[in-house]
Amino acid sequence: MKNKPFTLKTFLIISISTLFLNPVKAQYYEQDVYSATKYVTIYTSDFIVGKKILNNYLSNKKCEVLNQEINTRTFEVSFQLNENLVGSLDSTLGLIGYITSSTQNNNNNKLKVKKLEAELEDNTFKLEKMRNKFKLDSNANSKKNLEYAIENLEENNRRISRNLTQMKENYQTVFVKVTINDELSTPTNSKISFAKMPGVSYNRLFIENPKNGVTENLYTGYNMKYIFTKGKSYFQIGVLKNANEMSKLQIYDSLKANTINEFFTFEFGQDFYTRYFGRGNRKFFNLYSGYSIGGAIINRWNDQNARFAAFTNLSMGVELLKTKHILLDVKGSYFLPLADINRNTRGIMVSGSFNFVF
């Protein structure tokens, strides 16, 4: 009767451990038993088609799905994949949408197996010695301490044996977790990523309908441009001056003197990268579109009748060079003052800008 608690405790430990002793299927959260682990996050503009493409791949390659979660915005699946199929998986995932992150960590399981086998051999030797000592020991307290030590060692050996079995079965198996996000519901950048990029831009405004005594046909100037998010959002302030020099005689002419000499502008703008042409992650030739809104103080040659007018710009451009430290881009836009003189002040603006990380 004295040994009954020991027998009952041992029975409970063995019974519980058998629930996890099935070596045929490795639990998906025990990722260290695989030859490698791979995590991929994708944003797709067609969520339903994206799910279908991945499910068809898993079915065709007979991949074992370990865990799957789905809601209206996200589809997350964990599965086992033969390491020879990693290349085909990457090609398939590229068809779903834009891959925002993809990481793969390789596990040196052969070395781990050797270490675990050595640890199991040492533990087995220690366990045999403890069992023999337990049989010969007559001290109750000493036997109780040995009893706990034996239980812990036996449990440790079961864990090692389980991991060894799973590692040997998964020498060429990769654990993969793919997360597909609905781009229309969940934006690529859920949090604003701030930047500090001051710079300058050069602008040429070609007036669409210049009118004698109101505007000239061309205005040029510079802006101080400050990009403050990686999105990218920016502020800029600058001036557009009449590119046609006027003689003193012309300035004193009443009609010419009333011609707009400059636009002093300040504005806020945002640019948006296209979904299908690199999304702003390429080093060269990132296509984007954007807008800006702001105001202009309109001055004339005779410094009289100065006025203020709000304006907006709709633009398309391309980043010629984009690195971690500099940004060089050009764009074309339509400059539209929101005032009664907009017919003679609107036109096409061509700009080039240079910004750098501060």
Q: Are residues 150 and 204 in the same domain?
A: no
**What pLDDT, on the 0 to 100 scale, is given for residue 299?**
93
Q: How many CA atoms lie within 13 A of 90 on its CB side?
A: 10
| Per-residue tokens: 273 | 């990268």
Q: Are residues 202 and 169 in the same domain?
A: no
Q: Are residues 31 and 177 in the same domain?
A: yes
**Dihedral Cα 313, 315, 318, 324, nearest 10 deg:** 40
In a domain, 328, yes or no: yes
Nearest to 281 by CA among 52, 43, 51: 43
Domain boundary among 135, 163, 187: 187
Helix (DSSP H) and strand (DSSP E) numbers for the chain: 7, 13
Instruction: Give every residue of the chain whose pLDDT is below 70, as ranges.
Output: 1-32, 108-113, 116, 164, 166-170, 184-193, 246-255
**What pLDDT, on the 0 to 100 scale, is given for residue 148?**
81
Q: Are residues 219 and 172 in the same domain?
A: no
Nearest to 353 by CA among 325, 310, 317, 323: 317
In a domain, 46, yes or no: yes
- pLDDT, tens only, 267-286: 999 999 887 777 777 889 99
Q: How many CA atoms lie within 13 A of 337 on its CB side?
A: 24
DSSP assignment letter at 206: E
Domains of the chain: total: 2
Q: Are residues 229 and 335 in the same domain?
A: yes
Instruction: Give 252-300 as a DSSP string.
Output: HSHHHHTSEEEEEEEEEEEEEE-TTTTTT-SSS-EEEEEEEEEEEEEEE
Nearest to 201 by CA among 244, 242, 239, 243: 239
Count of other CB atoms within 10 angstroms of residue 114: 10
| Cβ atoms of residues 181 and 41 within 8 Å | yes
pTM of the predicted structure, to 2 decimals: 0.56
**What pLDDT, on the 0 to 100 scale, is given for residue 26?**
41
| Cβ atoms of residues 201 and 352 within 8 Å | yes
**What pLDDT, on the 0 to 100 scale, is given for residue 31?**
60
Q: Are residues 134 and 30 in the same domain?
A: yes
Q: Are residues 28 and 171 in the same domain?
A: yes
| Per-residue tokens: 318 | 């391309």
In a domain, 5, yes or no: no
Going by C-beta distance under 8 Å and a sequence separation of 6 or more, which residues neighbour residue 287?
273, 274, 277, 278, 316, 317, 318
**What pLDDT, on the 0 to 100 scale, is given for residue 32?**
66
Please give the Cα distance from 147 to 216 (Å, whole number): 99
**What pLDDT, on the 0 to 100 scale, is given for residue 188?**
43
Q: Are residues 177 and 258 in the same domain?
A: no
Question: What kind and span of H or E run contains 149?
Answer: helix 140-169
Q: Are residues 54 and 80 in the same domain?
A: yes
Please give the Cα distance from 10 to 7 (Å, whole number): 5
Q: Are residues 306 and 158 in the same domain?
A: no
Q: Are residues 66 and 150 in the same domain?
A: yes
Give the domain range for residue 209: 194-356
**What pLDDT, on the 0 to 100 scale, is given for residue 49?**
92
- pLDDT, tens only, 110-152: 666 677 677 777 778 888 888 887 777 777 777 778 788 888 8
Please give the Cα distance from 89 to 284 (Å, whole number): 27
Going by C-beta distance under 8 Å and a sequence separation of 6 or more, which residues neighbour residue 199?
224, 225, 226, 227, 327, 353, 354, 355, 356
| Per-residue tokens: 329 | 């881009």
In a domain, 105, yes or no: yes
